[in-house]
């Protein structure tokens, strides 16, 4: 099982949690950690390179901080450019079929905010529906999401522990 972790954070230097996750995941030999903002500072995606990377892996992970109830913009641009008709979807677009797909998301808001009656109204399962639909359309199996919430108030120890939890989550058989 080869896992591709696509890290999408526009400023990893100031990041706490996504930087810690990335630094932990690069130690795993069966994982490829792909830092999108580092690879494409000009925002111009190399579609052939990205599609080959996807073909070379079985489990695809999108790791990002939650920005306006979604991902940072370069990951959306990546989806628009890379998941093309006839490749990722459409009757001939079968290249991702049978792969697995996982989200790993950090949020500033606490878990309690993400529910009916909470200040963000909706759960993470509801807010990540576009990703679930994308996995469905491209024939990938959507696996349970890894979330770490209320991240501003985490201790160094909790940040460290969340990175270990993430490794276990991404290596698990579902």
Residues in contact with ligand FMN by CB under 6 A are 9, 15-18, 65-69, 106-109, 151
Q: Which is nearer to ligand FMN, 18 or 51 (CB)?
A: 18
Q: How far is the CB of 25 from ligand FMN (least distance, A)?
A: 13
Q: 27 burial class (0-12, 13-18, 19+ CB within 10 angstroms)?
A: exposed
d(CA 135, CA 133): 5
Q: Which is nearer to ligand FMN, 40 or 69 (CB)?
A: 69
Q: How far is the CB of 57 from ligand FMN (least distance, A)?
A: 23
* Tokens, residue 1: 């099982």
Q: How far is the CB of 80 from ligand FMN (least distance, A)?
A: 19
Q: Which is nearer to ligand FMN, 16 or 137 (CB)?
A: 16
Q: Which is nearer to ligand FMN, 112 or 136 (CB)?
A: 112
Kindly report the number of other CB atoms within 10 A of residue 29's CB atom: 6
Calculate the dihedral angle through the C-alpha atoms of 31, 37, 39, 40, rounding to the nearest 10 degrees: 140
Instruction: Characterise 97 by phi-psi region: left (phi > 0), alpha (psi -120 to 50), beta (else).
Output: beta
Q: How far is the CB of 97 from ligand FMN (least distance, A)?
A: 31
């Amino acid at each position: 099982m080869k896992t591709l972790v696509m890290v999408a954070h526009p400023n990893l230097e100031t990041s706490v949690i996504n930087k810690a996750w990335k630094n932990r995941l690069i130690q795993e030999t069966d994982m490829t950690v792909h830092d999108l903002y580092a690879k494409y500072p000009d925002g111009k995606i190399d579609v052939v390179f990205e599609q080959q990377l996807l073909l070379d892996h079985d489990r695809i992970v999108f790791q990002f901080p939650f920005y306006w109830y979604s991902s940072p913009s370069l990951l959306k641009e990546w989806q628009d450019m890379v998941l093309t008709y006839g490749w990722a979807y459409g009757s001939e677009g079968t290249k991702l079929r049978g792969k697995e797909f996982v989200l790993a998301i950090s949020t500033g808001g606490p878990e309690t905010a993400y529910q009916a009656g909470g200040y963000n109204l909706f759960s993470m399962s509801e807010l990540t529906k576009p990703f679930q639909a994308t996995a469905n359309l491209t024939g990938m199996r959507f696996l349970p999401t890894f979330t770490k919430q209320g991240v501003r108030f985490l201790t160094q120890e909790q940040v460290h522990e969340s990175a270990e939890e993430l490794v276990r989550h991404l290596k698990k058989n579902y």
